[in-house]
Structure 1
């Protein structure tokens, strides 16, 4: 359960949705699959099987589960990396642009 005393400015929505991540900072614009763990007005946390470098710019496409709601296109940069277990990383991304 979310503790509202954690001094966050924005509520986090807990998700468990597959997302497509494009790594903008590399020349190939590599694409990887990830799982979106949570989303707020200023950030998104994704779960990946290999770490991304700090300050890496990414583009994330979050599909909607409803045809009536358009998918979210998020641009942001990596601000946190936590290894949860071997081969599993939680990557925090600060949202810079949202479409």
Structure 2
């Protein structure tokens, strides 16, 4: 049974899915790969080998595993960066728009 004692407004779904992260800027949109650890209606946590600066605008795409479900494509902003080890960072993203 799911326990909502963590006071979240939306249920957080645990994942282990590969994602494509595009850093949105005026000069060149850099594309990186990462792993989505969890996802909710308003945010996600991704794991990657290097940090992304706070307040960076990003687009995250999660490919679908089949034709029955469409890929997820969201725009958001980096709101948290936690170093878990020397080559592992947990990036918190606040979702602003779902395409």
User: TM-score, structure 1 length as denominator?
Assistant: 0.94
Deviations 1:56-94 (A, max 9, x none): 000011112221111011100000000011110000000
* Equivalent position of 2:86 in the other structure: 86
Counterparts of 1:15-26 in structure 2, within 5 Å, are 15-25=15-25
Q: Answer yes or no: is 1:46 the counterpart of 2:46.
A: yes
Are the structure 2 counterparts of residues 29 and 4 from structure 1 closer, same or farther at C-alpha, using a change threshold of 3 Å? same
User: TM-score, structure 2 length as denominator?
Assistant: 0.94
* Matched residues, number: 99
Unaligned runs of 5+ in 1: none
Distance 1:61 1:26 in 2: 20
Over the aligned positions, Cα root-mean-square deviation in angstroms equals 1.4
Distance 1:26 1:86 in 2: 30
Distance 1:9 1:82 in 2: 22
Unaligned runs of 5+ in 2: none
